[in-house]
Structure 1
Amino acid sequence: MEDIRNIIRQSKTLVGPFPEFNINEASEYPHEQFLEWFQMAIDNGVHEPHSMTLSTTDHNGFPDARVLIIKDVDQYGWYFASSSQSEKGKHIEDNPNIALTFYWSSIGKQVRIRGIAIEMDKERSAKDFLNRGTVARAIALLGKQSSILKEQREFEEALIKQIDSLQHNPTLVSPSWTLYRVVAKEVEFWQADEDRKHIRLRYKLEGDKWLKNLLWA
């Protein structure tokens, strides 16, 4: 155990080289800058660049975070999907103020988004659900996410039955499946530097305009 702890303490971080971030060429809109960085992540072979951390708070104010995937990005916001009956869905119902975090370590880029999660209409949510794979839809239709599972066999048996049900009714949609749009209020782009001279560029929505400011590292 001590060997592992030594490895943790001695692990190196921010080993570049990293791409340059020219703030003078940054877009006027955060979603455009995000898509530019996302393309850069793809071009540099970042594994699963669409993975992100969604942070919420429960009814007691305790924070919670989990990794899931972004579904789309446009001028209106960032999109992800989940069951409204999941823990994160319940958190969002209680408090729609959430945060998204993307970190692409191999290119030293992090994007932090703070905003409000808004439920999309049933039609868009259903379309997103039907675009999922068979097993993913079957698991969602079980409707037991985060419930206590006595043994793995119980899950496997229920999943087989649900997959069979989908084969007979492939258009079945979970009534709790929800597509969310995150309407951003702040978006921060952080570019790592090997010498720790990091660059932080924050977009903050003031009225209907995005203001850009550099932040101290």
Structure 2
Amino acid sequence: MNKSLADMRRDYTRDGLSETSAPEEPFALFRQWFQEAVQAEQAPVEPNAMTLATVDEQGRPHCRVLLLKALDERGFTFFTNYDSDKGAQLAHSPFAAMTFFWPGLERQVRIEGQVEKVSAEESDAYFHVRPLGSRLGAWASPQSRVIRDRAELERLLAETEQRFLEQAPHCPPHWGGYRLVPERMEFWQGRPSRLHDRLDYRLTAGSWVRQRLAP
């Protein structure tokens, strides 16, 4: 198995990334790449999927895949259960990193920064456009807690369905959005012979500074 893993490789030849074609600030480039990922013939099923990394009280990192649900000049927004493990980790250390990977385009974007809760109004607005099953699930699931088996989860869901039989579920107080406010964004474009292009944007004294990093 070790030999087969060592032999797994591909050469990246699709595109390049140069300073002459990249904007001075990173949000424009992210939006361009994201739209190209959505439109690409080999686009991933969920181009807004990203890996979110947080750190617990012992300094141990934790990663999981989430979906980006909003983007504006303030930052990158995702939604979750505030009582989950990731919620506890962000309460302890409000810094995180997220990574987007679009293999069909041979591209990756890394984003680092401070995380803040979005307003209750923003969380409520997004909650009410979710499918009914997802809204019920936000109430039913004690996210990250140990449960006995699948039957227990289905029982919790059934109880929640009964609770909201006569009314639409509203946004739970333990559920809502976080916004990662970027301080660093790195754009990676695969190139042949592992000599990839890496453009790194860092927020310095209120302005974005762009640099090229060695692969």
Q: TM exceeds 0.5?
A: yes
Paired residues for 1:84-123 under 5 Å: 84-123=82-121
Deviates more, 1:106-115 or 1:129-138: 129-138
Match in the other structure for 1:76: 74
Tell whether 2:6 aligns with 1:17.
Answer: no
Please, what TM-score do these two structures have when normalized by structure 2?
0.93
Q: Give the fraction of aligned pairs with identical amino acids, expressed as a percent.
A: 31
The equivalent residue for 1:36 is: 32
Tell me by how many angstroms 1:192 deviates. 0.6
Q: 1:155 to 1:193 in 2, by over 3 A?
A: same
Q: Tell whether 2:130 aligns with 1:132.
A: yes
In structure 1, the partner of 2:144 is 146
User: Displacement of 1:160 after TM fit?
Assistant: 2.4
Instruction: Please report how far the alpha carbon of residue 136 of structure 1 lies from its aligned counterpart in structure 2 after TM superposition.
Output: 1.6
Write the deviation string for residues 127-150 of structure 1: whole angstroms up to 9, x where unpaired.
122222222221211241111121
Distance 2:105 2:192 in 1: 11
Q: CA deviation at 1:16?
A: 4.0
Mapped to 2, the partners of 1:149 and 1:171 lie a distance apart of 23
Tell me the distance in 1 between the aligned counterparts of 2:164 and 2:191: 50
User: Residue 160 of structure 1 aligns to which amino acid in structure 2?
Assistant: A
The TM-score, its normalising length taken from structure 1, stands at 0.92
Shift of 1:21: 2.2
The AA in structure 1 aligned to 2:139 is L
After superposition, the Cα gap between the structure-2 partners of 1:26 and 1:85, relative to the gap in structure 1 and judged at 3 Å, is: same
Q: Distance in 1 between matches of 2:74 and 2:150?
A: 41
State whether residues 16 and 107 of structure 1, in contact with CA within 8 Å, keep that contact through their aligned partners in structure 2: no
1:205 is matched by which residue type in structure 2?
L
Q: How many angstroms does 1:6 deviate by?
A: 4.5
Q: 1:57 aligns with which of 55, 58, 64?
A: 55
Residues matched between the structures, number: 213
CA RMSD of aligned residues (A): 1.6
Residues 171 and 149 of structure 1: CA distance in aligned 2, closer, same or farther (over 3 Å): closer
Point out which structure has higher relative CO (alpha carbons under 8 A, 6+ apart). 2
Please give the secondary structure, in 2, of the residue aligned with 1:204. Answer: strand
